[in-house]
Amino acid sequence: MTLNVMKTPDARAETPDPKIDASLRVPLLALFGGAAFWLVVSSVLAMIASIKFHAPDFPAHCPWLTYGRVQPAADDALLYGFCIPAGLGVALWLFAQLGRAPLRGAIVPVVAAKLWHLGVLVGLAGILSGNSTGFAWLEFPRAGSVILFFAYLLLALWAMMNFAARRERALYPSHWFLVAALFWFPWIYSTANLFLVAWPVRGVVQAVIGWWFAGNLLFVWLALVGIGTAFYFLPKFSGRPLQSYYLALFAFWTLILFGTWCGIPPGAPVPAWLPVLSSFAAVLTVVPVLAVAAIAWQTSRRSDAPSLECGCDAPVAAPAPAGRAAPMPADGLVRQDKATRASHLPYGDGASPPRGFIRFGLMSFVLSSLMLIAMACPRISQVTEFTWFGPAQTQLQLYGFFAMTMFGAIYLLPRVVGFELPFPKLARLQFWISMAGVVLFVLPLAIGGVEQGMKLNNPGLSFLDATRATLVFFRFSTTGLLLILSGNSLFALNIFAMTFVWEKSLVKKAFAVVTAPLERSSTSASLPSSPGFDGTRRRDKEVQA
């Protein structure tokens, strides 16, 4: 194979290019801003759903707030509202960074991002008003799905065009993961919508396609994007190249070969070959999961050699022009000395939020995947199927793995916008709160699920006994949800504040342009990004004046 390969992200980059970051500013704010909003919405909805278990009478008169609508709405708001747009934004950013080419035609992803968030709004309103399709993870009614599909196509096409136009031709493993993910979503989403909603197939084929779709979206798509992202950041954090390039490609191929067949539960009322094949594939999926674990472990070990890139944490705080050239002496030498390190890092010791988020995300990936694989084994499935163990696994995958990884990546946004994170301390606080929230939500629910399953398998105990046994665990997980809600609010606060600061600066600049017409040319030159967007604002200002 004669492909150029890149074994370390940005290895050949001499200096960071501010033009690249500037070109991504508006699209990323559009994608991440909406994502942050839906993230908060999702945890509020999840909170309402959770309260129902402690007080079943809580709004019993309101059809919009019934459990069967609120719970799927919360799940979909997290997946479609936050996870997918956040992943797409990070993919755009990584393509531009790795390809060393600024994003062209930034207005297209901005429009697509707005369209996507509109689709989520339509879909959630559809679920809450009783127009859900009735298929797990595909509840959005047709209008919402169509909008989402076209918004995705637009974003993915733009990302692919940007990928094709990259200046650095060498490919890094993250490219493989992200390109496969970009390509896979339209396929599974259109298949599921056409065969389940538009022209529904007969009988249990619906259920089979539903499981295939949910498994591929929740496990494969999220894994491709999340792991692709983590493989970009891990070498930057540790200063070691990815360990190793070939193991990463091995993980990639085994993931798409085996992971795509997971998802049909062993006890399903379908022809026996389907669950057997699916369980077999699930067991083989241990291979990519362990490969990812090995890569993460080997890559993030602290090296004694000075890091490849000076000041790997610096991008978090440093404003855009300074970039990674933050004042940081030979990194490997300061590593042991936490006090020295704390003096020039915004977050104190080495556990800066991005690094902590991504590490926690990878640990959750390994754990949640192992839980998924365990649930595919017939013996274990007899206990865990139909219990809270399943929702615990899903939450660990969606929030513990994917959302946490995305938080880590998105907190590097300040470099893109060219401002400091408005509340860096809150980012650090969010890390601890969200982590505690995930642990407190997932752990009791998983244990409660196993207990519920054992009690359900004992016909001597009444069904209500089994249900009541889970209520104790539910108290913990509701507390966990409350923490997750607070963490999400802190995240949204930082993102919204950053957007606000940026918009304020735009208005200020525009105001300067209006009040000092002679300096127009020089001021315009200092606004490198998205002339269309700035221009509109400037014109608005002129009209007002």
Partner 1 sequence: MKNGFWIFLAVFVALGGSWCGFVLAPELQLGGAKQTTTLNSSDVYPVGRPGEANQGLSVYRANGCAACHTEQVRQTGIACVMTLTDAGKNPEAVTNLISSLKLTGLTKEEADAASDKISAAGGKTEIHIIATGPDIARGWGMRQSVADDFLHDNPVQLGSLRAGPDLSNIGARADANWQLLHLYAPQSVVKGSTMPPFRYLFEVRKIGREPSPNALKLPPEFAPPAGYEVVPKPEARELAAYLSSLRATVPLYDAPISP
Task: Decide if residue 1 touches partner 1 (CB under 8 A).
Answer: yes
Residue whose CB is less far from partner 1, 194 or 516: 194
Choice between 382 and 505, CB closer to partner 1: 382
Cβ burial, residue 516 (10 Å; 0-12/13-18/19+) = exposed
Give which of 128, 3, 127 is closest to 65, Cα–Cα. Answer: 128
Based on the shown chain and the rule CB under 8 A, indicate whether residue 291 belongs to the binding site for partner 1.
no
Candidate residues 14, 15, 269, 543; the one interacting with partner 1 per rule CB under 8 A: 269
Nearer to partner 1 among residue 257 and residue 497 (C-beta)? 257
Pick 187 or 500: Cβ nearer partner 1: 187
Is 62 a binding residue for partner 1 by CB under 8 A? The answer is yes
**Nearest residue to 21 (alpha-carbon basis) of 324, 354, 426, 331:** 324
The tally of CA atoms less than 13 A away on the side-chain side of residue 321 is: 2
> Which CA distances in Å does 396 have to 95, 368, 400, 403?
27, 6, 4, 10
CA distance 171 to 467: 52
User: Which residue in the set 463, 515, 519, 535 belongs to the binding site for partner 1 (CB under 8 A)?
Assistant: 463
Q: What's the sign of the alpha-carbon dihedral 137, 141, 144, 145? A: positive
Residue 545 engages partner 1 in binding (rule: CB under 8 A) = no
CB of 297 to partner 1, least distance (A): 26
The residue behind tokens 């105990």 is 461
Q: What is the C-alpha separation between 93 and 489, in angstroms, rounded?
A: 24
What is d(CA 163, CA 92) in angstroms, rounded to the nearest whole number? 9
Name residues contacting partner 1, limited to 338-377 (CB under 8 A).
none
Rounded least distance, CB 273 to partner 1, Å: 9
Q: How far is the CB of 481 from partner 1 (least distance, A)?
A: 16
Per-residue CA distances from 157 to 93, 152, 154, 160, 418 (Å): 14, 8, 5, 5, 27
Size of residue set near partner 1 by CB under 8 A: 80
Query: If you write DSSP's letter for every residue of 178-216 in order, what string do you get?
Result: HHHHHHHHHHHHHHHIIIIIISPPPTTHHHHHHHHHHHI
Q: Give me the least distance between CB of 193 and partner 1, in Å please.
A: 12
For position 379 contacting partner 1 by CB under 8 A, the verdict is: no
Return the number of the residue (135 or 237) whose C-beta is nearest partner 1: 135
Name the minimum Å distance from CB 52 to partner 1.
Answer: 5
Residue from 18, 105, 200, 350 binding partner 1 (CB under 8 A): 200
Question: Does 257 help bind partner 1 (rule: CB under 8 A)?
Answer: yes
By the rule CB under 8 A, 245 interacts with partner 1: no
Spell out the residues 6+ positions from residue 248 whose beta carbon is closer than 8 angstroms to its own: 173, 231, 242, 291, 295
Site for partner 1 in 314-343 (CB under 8 A): none
State how far the Cα of 311 lies from the Cα of 308, in Å rounded to an integer: 9
- Is residue 57 part of the contact set for partner 1 (CB under 8 A)? yes
5 strand-pairing partners: 171
What separation, in Å, do the N-terminal and C-terminal C-alpha atoms of the chain show? Answer: 62
CB of residue 183 vs partner 1: minimum separation in angstroms? Answer: 7
Judged by CB under 8 A, does residue 133 bind partner 1?
Answer: yes
- Cα separation, 20 vs 11, in Å, equals 16
CA-to-CA distance for 535 and 522, rounded, in angstroms? 15
**Residue 30 CB, nearest approach to partner 1 (Å):** 29
Segment interacting with partner 1, rule: CB under 8 A, options 8-16, 68-76, 291-299, 403-411: 68-76
The 144-183 site mask, x for binding partner 1 (CB under 8 A), equals --------------------------------x--xx--x
Per DSSP, the three-state class of 389 is helix
- Of 358 and 466, CB closest to partner 1: 466
Chain positions 203 to 232 lying near partner 1, rule: CB under 8 A, are 203-209, 211-212, 216
Determine the interface stretch with partner 1 among 6-14, 234-242, 398-406, 460-468 (rule: CB under 8 A): 460-468
Residue where the block lists tokens 């999220």: 222
For partner 1, what does the binding mask look like between residues 382 and 421, x meaning CB under 8 A?
Answer: x--xxxx-xx------------------------------
Residue placing its CB nearer to partner 1 in the complex, 461 or 516: 461
Which of positions 91-130 make contact with partner 1 (CB under 8 A)?
130
Tokens of 434: 């969200």
Torsion sign, CA atoms 148, 151, 154, 157: negative
Tell the smallest beta-carbon distance from residue 120 to partner 1 (Å): 18
How many CB atoms lie under 10 A from the CB of residue 342? Answer: 13
